[in-house]
Amino acid sequence: MVAYVVVPGIGGSDERHWQSRWEAGWGASATRIAPGSWTEPDLEDWVAAVRTAYERAVRQADGDGVALVAHSLGCWAAARWLEEARPGGVVVFLAAPPDPLGPAFPREAASTFLGVTARPLPCPGLVVSSDDDPYCGAAAAAGLATGWESPRTSVGKQGHINSESGHGDWERGRELLRVLLGRTPAV
C-alpha cells in the first residue's frame, strides 16, 4: 500500500480543499504535516514537519512507497526536505507552487521561503500548474519544473487549484497522481 504525506500551503487545506478530500479517502494511509507555523510559515519548521510525517508514512507503506502530495507553499517545504533527505521509494506531486519572485508571493508571512530555488529533485515528480494562477504564471511554473527536473502539466485556467477555485474532489488531479504513482520505486 502506498502511503501519502499531505503537505498543504499556508493555513493548511480546509475541508473543501481537494487535499483534504483526498486525505479523507485515503484514511489511515495518509499523514498530514503539522507544523507549528501554519499562518506565518517558517521553512525549517515546515521541513521538520515533512520529515516527521514521512517517517510515520514509511511505517505504513508496507514497501510500496510514499507519495508526497503538496500544494502551494507546501511544494517548497516538500522540495527542500527531499533535497536534504534524499529518500528512496518516494514520488512528489507538486500542485500550484507559488513563484517566490512573483508579485503575489506572501513575502511578509512567508519570509523564510524567499530564498528558495528549484533544484533537481532526487525522485520522480510532477508539477501541476494553472495558466491563470495568481501566485505563479505559466512561464514561472515552467521554470520551476525545469529547475526541479520534473515534467509540468498545465490544467488550463484553474486559478490557484484550491477551495476558492471550486475544484472539489479534483478528478483531473487524481488521474495525474495515479500516473505518477505508476513511477513509484519500491522502498
Say how far apart CA 122 and CA 130 lie, in whole Å: 24
Residue 185: pLDDT over 70: no
pTM strictly above 0.85: yes
The grid coordinates of residue 35 equal 507544523
Residue 183: pLDDT over 90: no
Summarize the confidence of residues 134-150 as an average pLDDT. 97
Q: Are 49 and 35 contacting, i.e. CB atoms less than 8 angstroms apart? A: yes
Provide the pLDDT confidence category of residue 163 given band limits of 50, 70 and 90: confident
pLDDT in the model for residue 106: 93
pLDDT in the model for residue 3: 94
Q: Are 126 and 93 contacting, i.e. CB atoms less than 8 angstroms apart? A: yes
pLDDT in the model for residue 130: 96
* Percentage of the chain modeled with pLDDT above 90: 85
HEC per residue, the chain: CCEEEEECCCCCCCCCCHHHHHHHHHHHHEEECCCCCCCCCCHHHHHHHHHHHHHHHHHHCCCCCEEEEEECHHHHHHHHHHHHHCCCCEEEEEECCCCCCCCCCCCCCCHHHCCCCCCCCCCCEEEEECCCCCCCCHHHHHHHHHHHCCCEEECCCCCCCCHHHCCCCCHHHHHHHHHHHCCCCCC
Q: Are 132 and 159 contacting, i.e. CB atoms less than 8 angstroms apart? A: yes
Summarize the confidence of residues 35-64 as an average pLDDT. 92
**Mean residue pLDDT across the chain:** 93
Residue 186: pLDDT over 50: no
Instruction: For residue 48, give every residue at least 6 positions away whose Cβ sits within 8 Å of its Cβ, in sequence order, or none.
Output: 35
Summarize the confidence of residues 130-140 as an average pLDDT. 96
Summarize the confidence of residues 141-170 as an average pLDDT. 94
Summarize the confidence of residues 141-153 as an average pLDDT. 97
Residue 180: pLDDT over 90: yes
Between the CA of residue 156 and those of 8, 32, 62, 96, what are the distances in Å? 21, 27, 36, 12
pLDDT (tens digit per residue) in 54-101: 999 998 877 779 999 999 999 999 999 999 999 999 999 999 999 999
Instruction: For residue 175, give every residue at least 6 positions away whose Cβ sits within 8 Å of its Cβ, in sequence order, or none.
Output: none
